[in-house]
Amino acid sequence: MVTRVVRPTRRPITWTESSVVTVTAYVGVGANLGDVRTAVRNATLAIANLQGVTHMTPSSLYGSAPVDADGADYVNAVVRIQTTLSPHQLLAALQGLEHGAGRTRHYRNAPRTLDLDILLYGQETIQTPDLVIPHPRMWERAFVLAPLAELDPQQVTELHREQVAYQKIWRLT
């Protein structure tokens, strides 16, 4: 008779609520096609309702002329979120919202029904083919820096503000 030794199986690790890491991220929101104010407001609400987003604070809405782009003036905002999504999960979710809003990518900086960009993700620096954080052009855009400074003044230095002072931007009521 052969005796067989049975070793206990390892149980898979299960993540508890307390083991999930929450990160503060900032997302730029903009549009210049269609009912842009409604598109930006709806996008901020949609971001707040994403699975994995536990808190969202929006900036005011800002108007701006296109920078390195064509078309009508933009409406922009920035939202600060608390999220358990990884940077790439967040990117996929935001691209899904863009797609749902009818976003098409005919060419770089084309007019758009909705544009969602991850600006900052905690203290992370990420450089992959599909995602760069911090956003590579955020420091060159008044329409990003003004609403970002409204939410978190420490993120935007006086030098940043001076470098975009020539760009026309206005707070919408």
Residue 1 lies in a domain: no
- Segment-wise mean pLDDT, segments of 10 residues, the chain, 173 residues: 46 50 96 92 96 96 86 94 96 91 61 88 93 93 96 96 95 91
pLDDT (0 to 100) of residue 72:
87
Task: Tell me how far CA of residue 18 lies from CA of 14, 135, 143, in angstroms.
Answer: 11, 30, 36
Question: Buried b vs exposed e over 83-104: b needs ≥16 C-beta within 10 Å?
Answer: bbbebeebbebbeebbeebebe
> Positive or negative, the Cα torsion across 81, 85, 91, 94?
negative
Flag whether 159 is in a domain.
yes
Q: Is residue 6 part of a domain?
A: no
Active site residue 115: yes
What pLDDT shows up at residue 112?
78
Quick check: helix, strand or coil at residue 55? strand
In a domain, 41, yes or no: yes
- Annotated catalytic, 117? yes
Give domain status of residue 13, yes or no: no
12 within domain boundaries = no
Catalytic residue among 103, 130, 137, 141: 103
Identified catalytic residue from 117, 152, 161, 171: 117
Structural domains counted in the chain: 1
Q: Is residue 2 part of a domain?
A: no
Q: Which of 115, 130, 152, 171 is catalytic?
A: 115
Q: 152 catalytic, yes or no?
A: no
Residue 61 lies in domain? 21-171
User: Mapping DSSP to helix (H, G, I), strand (E, B) and coil, where does residue 58 land?
Assistant: strand
> What is the reported pLDDT for 154?
95
Instruction: Return the CATH number at 41.
Output: 3.30.70.560
Q: Contact 115/28 with Cβ under 8 angstroms?
A: yes
With respect to residue 157, please indicate whether it lies within any of the assigned structural domains: yes
d(CA 20, CA 14): 11
Is-catalytic flag, 68?
A: no
